[in-house]
Chain A
């Protein structure tokens, strides 16, 4: 998430508000964060005012100063931000993006060796904040709401309520729910999820292997593979839309073709299959000796996997793989999958004819990059 740091004034508590760049009526100011380049005294009633210069005076509202003009320009009307007493500003929702994410909990019932965001014990704070943000979302938002964790399905009834609110507040938005699918092994739970009647939800289920011991090893929890398998079949029984996400690591790269075939033969009902490259942060860095593999080294296996699914008329995509690291045949399946706020390109990428359609890199992964990054010689 995008963050800025300024100097706090009168900031007694953390506030969440929607960014406005011009004055708004008094009544809605309590949930509005005003962004203004030149200080103006008439800022009464705003949740906070962000600017370059400090606002002084007895009646001045809470504010954060010392922000650059560039920072301020990066905040757009409709963005939803968290402003904190330490002067930090965190953008929780970007109005200009087609995809915004809600992290509902950092708790998880897996501990994947390549997890970029290590699981923690549950704290209700994430869900509360997500609910506050959701209430401020523009009802016309027609992009994608990504619901993630941790493992969001662990929230049970509270997840159902949250998903219900999403469709109520932003009926045109589609929802992608990132899950390890284990909770769906419970038929009753899956039935309740289906009975929410959400038309626009896609369950993105992680599946990292075609055999139990390998998947369980990767996700750090025995019995997971079987639960996810049952979960996938339960979701299918309720005609839910499903995407399978397979993160490629050193542990499963040599089985990519077999994983693809296993998916086709056992889950031909899934709408989309994605192969994702590692995001080298969190546990992935901790376990880098076991998990790190240069995508360049498995490009033939990846091509074979994508080819077999594409032949079988399954929709398949390759995420987080820069174009120079996949085989030429695979390039048309590679998507720009990295969220804007952590998406970077390297110096070397300047002048690459593929840059405009390349996913680039995770800013979080800079410490561990492929040794084969280079501009494409020509575009296919």
Chain B
């Protein structure tokens, strides 16, 4: 029997912008509190009828009279948030070829020349990969075709799609396909196939012509932007704009250009963008001096971009920043959100896997790149030589899970943003030769704490129109539908 007047449940906290504290608990609830009440809380002197006390009970920071029930409620919410773990691997990426007609400055996959056909995935490999994919217990399967430039090995794509659809007639899974392509080689026959099989397109756009061309180069030396623009129009016309998304990579060239980049996305009919910082693999590792930047630069750019995008939405242009949407969904909703690169435990292997052109299986694209750089630590197996069980239940994947639970990782375990963040063990290994890594203070930590600081600053400010925009993104509705303004 506790002598204290109330029971405080585990929580994390942080002093916040000199104006009180932010508290977060295991079920993902957050609460802003002033210093005086915080001190009163932890010294068990917070009055029972004070608003903060009632709020903290309401959000399960403090137990009600029935502590078992409070723990049960917390457990239910925690379980719900971790539900992304239930279905096991659903994202399956296939490296259709390593060949590419581009040679981008920041390419993390170290592509090969356009005529290096030995790096193509054969139809025999493709079918064997599909067989492996369909052994996953996941009820929803997304097969993503990557490269190199996957369109250079088109027959492997059609073989995979048709074979997977045949298998799915009996498997009955929710099956999706995405082609990650620079689009410059796409033709109308391919588009007809893409359309009739309901395939989505994920392409790359770094901004206006000059910026795009300085990052993304065609091997033959012409502007890749003009070739892209032409094919983008054609693709959007055939498939509809909503089936075509683009990724942007933020390089040192992008600094100071975020509004130009966003304007370009809006102008070209994209419904949103995903602001991505550069990854230190492949060519990017070699070019880090010219393309890299301190992560604090990225956070500043992100802040500027978010401010600008919210303004666009309030002025009537519906446009989404996808990373913000993901993070806000984690903060503001009780629902689970899987995101391979930022979850705890990491999604590497257990949420996503990548199949190299030769049938080798890795937990993440970065692990495959590491292998190309000479360290095959994360090679989980090969679809010809190993069973599904060997590959997905082996030591590598188990080790990755063990070493990527933020709950038990020093530094992260005590971070106020821990319930919303995630681990990237492969990247940690790459940077520190250790999957656990030295995360506090790492570029990824600077990026995420910076973004969380920014988002919680917005939540604290609670500007009503901004909140309407955020909720419109989270619930996938028009801003006007949310605000009723």
Contacts and interface: CB of A to CB of B under 8 A. Distances in A.
Interface in A267-304: 268
B475 A258 contact: no
A377 interface: no
B66 interface: yes
Contact of A312 (B54, B72, B73, B333): B333
Interface string B54-79: 11011100001110010011001100
Contact of B484 (A230, A266, A332): A332
A215 B57 CA distance: 13
A35 B261 CA distance: 78
A86 interface: no
A264 B475 CA distance: 13
A258 B482 contact: no
A211 B58 contact: yes
Contacts of B73: 229, 266
A310 B471 CA distance: 10
A214 interface: yes
Interface in A204-257: 210-214, 223, 225-226, 229-230, 233, 255
A125 interface: no
B478 to A, nearest CB: 12
B144 interface: no
Given A213-B65, A214-B54, A225-B64, A266 B334 contact: yes
A265 B66 CA distance: 19
A310 B334 CA distance: 15
Contacts of B482: 310-311
B276 to A, nearest CB: 28
B372 interface: no
A213 B484 CA distance: 35
Contacts of B333: 268, 312
Interface in A165-190: none
Given A211-B64, A226-B69, A229-B69, A264 B54 contact: no
A329 interface: yes
Contacts of A313: 471, 475, 477
Contacts of B65: 212-213
A264 B67 CA distance: 21
A262 interface: yes
Contacts of A262: 58-59
Interface string B308-351: 00000000000000000000000011110000000000000000
A339 to B, nearest CB: 28
A329 B482 CA distance: 12
Contact of A212 (B55, B66, B76): B66
Given A210-B58, A266-B334, A312-B471, A233 B76 contact: yes
A159 B3 CA distance: 45
Nearest to B76: A233
Nearest to A314: B475
Interface residues of B, number: 27
| A interface, over-half SS | helix
A221 to B, nearest CB: 13
Contacts of B58: 210-211, 255, 258-259, 261-262
B468 interface: yes
A313 B332 CA distance: 12
B467 interface: yes
B484 A268 contact: no
A311 B475 contact: yes
Contacts of B365: none
Nearest to A212: B64
Contact of B59 (A265, A310, A329, A332): A265
Contact of B69 (A230, A268, A332): A230
Contacts of B48: 213
Nearest to A380: B484
A310 B468 CA distance: 10
Contacts of A310: 482, 484
A329 B55 CA distance: 26
Interface string B18-59: 000000000101000000000000000000100000110111
A332 B483 CA distance: 12
B84 to A, nearest CB: 16
Contacts of A223: 66
A205 B66 CA distance: 21
A258 B54 contact: yes
Contact of B471 (A225, A229, A311): A311
A332 B48 CA distance: 37
Given A230-B69, A311-B471, A313-B477, A268 B54 contact: no
A244 to B, nearest CB: 15
B477 A329 contact: no
Contact of B64 (A226, A258, A259, A312): A226
Contacts of B66: 212, 223, 226
A265 B334 contact: yes
Contacts of B477: 313
Interface in A307-356: 310-313, 329, 332
Contacts of B76: 233, 266
Nearest to A255: B54
Interface string B467-485: 1100100010100001010
B162 to A, nearest CB: 37
A258 B55 contact: yes
A230 B72 CA distance: 9
B335 A268 contact: yes
Contact of A311 (B64, B77, B334, B468): B468
Contacts of A312: 332-333, 471, 475
Contact of A264 (B64, B334, B468, B484): B334
A211 B54 contact: yes
Interface string B69-93: 1001100110000000000000000
Nearest to B335: A268
A226 B63 CA distance: 12
B74 to A, nearest CB: 10
B292 to A, nearest CB: 39
A329 B471 CA distance: 17
A325 B475 CA distance: 30
A266 B475 contact: no
Contacts of A332: 484
B82 to A, nearest CB: 16
Contacts of A311: 467-468, 471, 475, 482
Nearest to A223: B66
A214 B65 CA distance: 12
Interface string A5-19: 000000000000000
27 contacts: A210-B57, A211-B57, A211-B58, A211-B64, A212-B57, A212-B64, A213-B48, A213-B65, A226-B69, A229-B73, A230-B72, A255-B54, A258-B54, A258-B55, A259-B58, A262-B59, A264-B334, A265-B59, A266-B73, A266-B77, A268-B334, A310-B484, A311-B467, A311-B471, A312-B332, A312-B333, A313-B477
Interface of B: 27, 29, 48, 54-55, 57-59, 64-66, 69, 72-73, 76-77, 332-335, 467-468, 471, 475, 477, 482, 484
Given A255-B54, A311-B467, A312-B333, 11 more contacts: A212-B66, A229-B69, A229-B73, A262-B58, A264-B334, A265-B27, A265-B29, A265-B77, A268-B334, A312-B332, A312-B475
* A-B complex: 6 closest residue pairs judged by Cβ atoms: A311-B471, A210-B58, A313-B475, A212-B64, A226-B69, A211-B57
